[in-house]
Amino acid sequence: MKAEESKRFHDLWRGDADFRQRFLEQPEAALQQWSMPGEASALHAFCVEQNKQGNLQLAGLDEQPGQQAYRAHNKEKRVWLKNLYAYEFGDHAFSSWRLRQISRFRTQVPDDWADRNPHIPFVVELTNGCSLSCPFCAGAAKSLDPSIPAFTATQSFFEGLISRLQQKVGLQQAPGVLYFFTEPLDHPEYEQYLAAAADIWGMVPQTTTAAWFRDEGRTRRLMKLTEGRGMPYNRFSVNSKKRFQQCLKTYSPQDLLHTQLVLNYPEAAGAPLYASGRGRQMDNTIQGSVACVSGFLVNLPLRRIQLVSPTLELERWPKGYRILEEASIANLKDVELFLQHCHETRFNSVLHGRSPLLLRSDLQLQQDNNRWFLMNTYRRIPLRPGEKSIIEHLAKVKTVDDLLEYDIPGLSANQVFNRLNTWWANGILED
């Protein structure tokens, strides 16, 4: 099979339960229905086994016989994306803060979730609210405000804003994005913002859209624009089986070779739906967060900037991300003042004697087989000798100096402070 044919098969298997069942029973007929070429026997045997194991994502498909082109395509994509998100920051303070947020999130979620989160350093939303009203929206986006500022009215501020964000974190090539829990194609001039950002950031931002079906011509032009400017890997969110079949009938396997289909409907073998945002009201969701920013979140129409990071503390942060700082930004001077404030109060923050001490709210002290752990929904962090006593004393104190006045059995004051610093760096303590 060609790479695009293998990808089409993979999308069909995940997205259409009827195709999946038919392929298991009549593999040749199932392939012919979608004009898929190739010998089905080896592929069929692999899928039968994976179906028995419940692996509906078909992990390992590209390692099967006849999948050499697909394997090469996936390898190239993994390398490309790894390089895309291999951030190098000129600002050491911001980099240290962001690494602490990454470590914090990693102690809340399974490894594969942690590995997939790019912790983008800054994003800009071009609209206020979203027109799609997806019932599972993890960010609980409000209805779209029809008052959408024109590109010409905001161009100067937008370009100054993203230039300053890039300079603040010290990125030479800055792959931010122009949406968060909003629909990028809701803005009629989204493509002009893409081009303006590319001129400053050195590359065109990646696009994830759930409105790909509204205007096929526009969607195709967007795909051509982004690929022509060095961003081949965009994503279509697909929210129903009907839309999934429409997508595959509208776009050929070659059209979708570089486009990831994010399947968000119950019968699909897609990513799980999380109990954050509007998803908290749905059945069959799991505790999780799709928030992917550890840095600055800007809403351009509201002229609002926030410092955020992902979290699973959903009772306190129901949208799956913490808001650590927030300000209105009427002009670029306001942007500079906010960035400086974050630098002084957040990024340059270190643990010292007067630092407040508070254990993260999702962590509980528990014992298992005579060992003590800090545990939450997905993780358990083993404690070393003496650390249980430190945890127990945290509830009695307010600052580091307060804690150091206590005698912790088996640990000197310096050792206690070193343990606190390690927990601080790993996001175990509130920051």
Condensed to tens digits (0 to 9), the pLDDT of residues 163-219 reads: 999 999 888 776 789 999 999 999 999 999 999 999 998 889 899 999 999 999 999
Q: Tally Cβ neighbours within 10 Å of residue 315.
A: 7
**pLDDT for the residue numbered 13:** 94
The amino acid present at 304, given as its one-letter code, is R
Query: Side chain identity at 327, as an amino acid letter?
Result: A
- Under DSSP, the state recorded for 345 is I
- Side by side, the strands of the sheet bearing 120-125 are 120-125, 293-299, 304-310, 321-328
Q: How far apart are CA 107 and CA 374, in angstroms?
A: 10
Residue indicated by tokens 């079949």: 245
pLDDT(103) > 80: yes
User: 58-94: per-residue pLDDT in tens?
Assistant: 888 999 988 999 999 999 999 998 888 888 899 999 9
Cα dihedral 278, 314, 165, 228 in deg (nearest 10)? -50
> What pLDDT is attached to residue 136?
87
Helices (H), 34-125: 41-52, 68-84, 92-106, 111-116
- Give the separation between CA 297 and CA 304, rounded to whole angstroms: 8
Please state, in angstroms and rounded to a whole number, the distance separating the CA atoms of residues 181 and 63. 35
pLDDT over 70 at 288, yes or no = yes
Give 38's pLDDT tier (boundaries 50, 70, 90). low
The reported pLDDT for the residue numbered 202 is 84
Q: Report in angstroms the alpha-carbon separations of 383 from 365, 366, 389, 392, 410.
A: 9, 10, 10, 12, 14
> Which one, of 46, 41, 26, 250, lies nearest residue 10 by Cα?
46
Phi, psi of 293 (to 5 degrees): -120, 125
- Residue 206 near residue 180 (C-beta atoms within 8 A): no
Domains of the chain with CATH codes: 3-80 (no CATH), 85-347 (3.20.20), 364-425 (no CATH)
- In tens, the pLDDT along 208-233 reads 999 999 999 999 999 999 999 989 89
Tens of pLDDT along 343-397? 999 999 899 999 999 999 999 999 998 899 999 999 999 999 999 999 999 999 9
291 by Cβ neighbours in 10 Å (0-12 / 13-18 / 19+) ranks as buried
The whole-chain average pLDDT of the chain stands at 93
Q: What does the pLDDT read at residue 254?
A: 96
Residue length, the chain? 431
Selection from 398, 369, 386, 396 nearest residue 422 by Cα: 386
Q: Indicate the pLDDT class of residue 152, thresholds 50, 70 and 90.
A: very high
Could you count the other beta carbons within 10 Å of the beta carbon of residue 96? 15
How much is the pLDDT for 125?
A: 97
Interhelix angle for 17-25 vs 3-15, to 10°?
A: 110
pLDDT higher than threshold 70 for residue 149: yes
Pairing label, strands 364-368, 321-328: unpaired
373, β-bridge pairs = 366, 382
Between CA 339 and CA 244 the distance in angstroms is 42
Percentage, residues of the chain above pLDDT 90: 78
